Amino acid sequence: MTDPLAQVIQLLRPRAVFSKGITGLGSWTVRYQEFGLPGFCAMTEGRCRLAVDGEEPVFLEAGDFVLLPATPAFTMSSVDAAHSLRIQPVDPKAASAQNREIRYGRTEGPPDMRQFGGYFSFGAPDAGLLVSLLPRMIRISGAPRLTSLVQLVGEEAAREDIGRDLILERLVEILLIEALRAAPAQQAEPGLLRGLADPRIAAALRLLHGDVERAWTIPELANAAGMSRSAFFDRFVRLVGARPMEYLVAWRMTIAKDLLRGKTMALDEVAGRIGYSSSSTFSTAFSRHVGVPPGQFMRQSGVWDEAGRAARA
């Protein structure tokens, strides 16, 4: 059976960049700048308050896991932090350069809050399109498997053994899939995760992802979902956030960009792989959706790849 979520994560090509322990003691408040890269944390001891910009504040306890696919600015504090307490600004990039455990609040004495957090990057230059299909903030309670995975990522990141990068890539892929399938999708914003949580819409999404070459129609998809055309269309838009054919075109172009970056296929072959009868019709659709013709995209992709490698170095 086709797994749309796994396909999206594979195209994102996640790579671990930074992870380490974070502890706190007493009253403290820190303010992280907007970062853009996906961030995560697993609470292993105590409690803290997390207020992500644009989201309702939440209290995190031991066993909780949080994933921010695009990490906006956020404030984190001890549970009893006074509103007048001085807020310590944190630059995520500067914090990641530290080799020691991060400590908030009083430095002397055993911590009353402990978590393991970090961030990673996506190898896909157009990751924003795929990230937009995911919830803005994912919080999961009582997730010991996720805590164990986060600790494994940290342990492996600290090593310099052969195969380290490959193991980290696989661990982060597993971490993402585990987090997304455990997330309360019914409460998520419209997107892929919410669509997959609905059995009827999930059936249509699996068809679209499983046979991207086919010229799908609304009646075919509605029939697979066991719904009338109008009811299916309205439900798809409400849960996924896009019309069915818009979603199909966006997914086709995402696959096309991945194939074009490889620079091993002729345009006719790329066009055929995603359901276009000729390279000219594909080029027209690609230019309309991406903003540049396929050939120009291929030439630019080398520049983007170099920039991505430089950022990860």
41: which strand partners?
66, 117
Same domain assignment for residues 62 and 119: yes
Enclosing domain of residue 153: 4-186
Q: Is-contact 200 232, C-beta < 8 A?
A: yes
Return the structure tokens found at 213. Answer: 């070459």
Same domain assignment for residues 258 and 155: no
Which pLDDT value is given to residue 303? 41
Which pLDDT value is given to residue 26? 92
Distance CA 202, CA 224 (A): 10
| Residue 312 belongs to a domain | no
Same domain assignment for residues 199 and 50: no
Domain count, the chain: 2
Which pLDDT value is given to residue 99? 64
Same domain assignment for residues 169 and 66: yes
45: which strand partners?
114
| Residue 311 belongs to a domain | no
Other CB atoms within 10 A of residue 134 CB: 26
Same domain assignment for residues 179 and 199: no
Residues of the chain short of pLDDT 50, as ranges, are: 303-313
Which pLDDT value is given to residue 160? 79
Which pLDDT value is given to residue 16? 67
The residue among 159, 186, 213 that closes a domain is 186
Which pLDDT value is given to residue 159? 79
What's 79's domain CATH number? Answer: 2.60.120.280
Q: Is-contact 289 249, C-beta < 8 A?
A: yes
The 10s digit of each residue's pLDDT in 210-265 is 999 999 999 999 999 999 999 999 999 999 999 999 999 999 999 999 899 887 88
Same domain assignment for residues 241 and 113: no
Chain position carrying tokens 């195209």: 11
Same domain assignment for residues 90 and 182: yes
Q: Is-contact 54 5, C-beta < 8 A?
A: no
The residue among 158, 186, 214 that closes a domain is 186
Distance CA 271, CA 278 (A): 6
Handedness of CA 156, 160, 163, 166 (dihedral sign): positive
Which pLDDT value is given to residue 188? 67
Which pLDDT value is given to residue 227? 97
What's 206's domain CATH number? Answer: 1.10.10.60
